Amino acid sequence: MPKMKSHGGTKKRFKVTATGKVIRGQAYRDHLHSHKKASVKRSLRSDKVVCTSDAKGIRRQAPYL
């Protein structure tokens, strides 16, 4: 059986940790920072873990991540 193709957008946006969790980048981070508090900007820096119900679909789209 041939290998499945991975979804290109999913490959660019998500990573899988060594324990198997799916990591995503935080939204609202690129611009319009002048009116945001420093604490909000600090919390936007870190990557977030995708919830398990969404992670199933992401793994289905990119099985070889």
4-57 pLDDT, tens digit each: 999 999 999 999 999 999 999 999 999 999 999 999 999 999 999 999 999 999
> How far is residue 41's CA from residue 64's CA, in Å, rounded to a whole number?
32
pLDDT number for residue 42:
95
pLDDT number for residue 55:
96
Cβ atoms of 47 and 25 within 8 Å: the answer is: yes
pLDDT surpassing 90 at residue 65: no
The two three-digit tokens of residue 9, written as one number = 């957008």
pTM of the model: 0.81
pLDDT number for residue 1:
86
